[in-house]
Structure 1
């Protein structure tokens, strides 16, 4: 297992209040070749499958190194940002992910690949309407959301004929990017804790839920809105499936996660695909404070920003174990050195 993993980022003080990070959807990735396979999708007959796979997920990118000068310039606000070190032995995200994924779907929507009867607890009384979609379940297990995967660098783009190995399409990049030593976590769009959208998309999201007008939102600059929609979706689901409540309360995580995924997928995913096409849309996921080991502050960060940053760490009880380092530029070599400036533990 890799020992250290790092996230380059601008210095956002609110990160240490809400611990939210961005997962980048296809249309916001900085490489135009990403998730665009070789060959013509129109001629392959697999366009729908690509839409349902490429467009349903976001990518959280991290690196094996914290001292790459190019990455400090490109991703950490020209050395005025930070690098967050995560412990790869711990789950990075607060949300629960599991590898034994079962994709539920309405029987009328399962076109090929076979089905399995649902005979487990919370879902069993609905087996005349929904079933386990075998093909979709395999695809989701292959993608293995919520876990780290090493990016592979290649001169050739993945081809549509290799669709069954769908995870490769999220992990293969041009070898021009090899210096990044990237790893990725693939995350479902419908698992985002918070979404930032332009006001032109609000009606679409309101219409996706029974209680759309109860969605909590925060108005931001440039006609953008920060929305908390997940709780509303769960209330909708429990209204239709009250049998799920004991599993939620008793923490039968696998069953409840599969059911909530089914509900969000059937009522919500198409709307997310549409708003994800707007690169202004931001999908935010909460990271686990236990997974954060340390933070490295850029060599160009203003003194006042550093002081404010340290106060944020001090004021968050869940981050008292985090060490803070300050970068400085070598006077002789093209490299950075890091000195500890704050340690609570």
Structure 2
């Protein structure tokens, strides 16, 4: 009798264990309740059903093109060009592996209690980083523009300010990151709005005057020197310039040095006659550099003259002559490095 009871107990255990095993095997391709892929609920579905569902709700939406809007303009990145791919089968296998965690008894207990597993799996979505990077750079090139510094245009008769202008830039790296994130979201709207960043000029229009506290222009045809302070015309002076063959050099120069009653180092030229190569002391009748000197280029400069009848003519050996009162007045206002434009 006792042996019969033991045999019956063994049979019950055997049948129970066999039932659990059979039950568990029947659910081998069933996804546990509470499992989602990218927010898509696949709990309680068979693997085949999951494949169909993920293809419809995950793979197909990811085939939509990505749209980028900047300043009212739109750019499209097709999924094919971005080489977007989603591995539905990998997501199915991930879900099955998650559902089959534990042993048959623990899975049975979970099924009986109807306790959700609570697992949200990330879909296996990939794209070409190179393609996305190339697209982001293309969008950037469409909008990037350098800032324009304020600058000065000068002519024989005056100065003109060219106003500064702000530029703009777009961060291709930030756009690339946002695109990469959006490309992996099947439920996203596939749209990214990017903003431009203002690029300020290094030199603003307001700062231009401070860069040019003084400026001189020389009009050789009109025999006129114009003096500007903070880009505003202050004074016009009658001058003499170089004669034919000894022309005052045209171009943009700077005041290199200044002197009061300087000595004159006579050039070793034919026109200098007996004075060639000599040094004539300042403030002497033989020295044609009267009162003040402002050197600008290779022996040429601005200086005073007592030959006021020569003003308004081509009379010098390359220098710019002014009356003595005029050159003294100009000298007081001009600093070394003052630009001198000769036209």
With normalisation by structure 2, the TM-score equals 0.16
More helix by percentage? 1
Larger radius of gyration: 2
With normalisation by structure 1, the TM-score equals 0.16
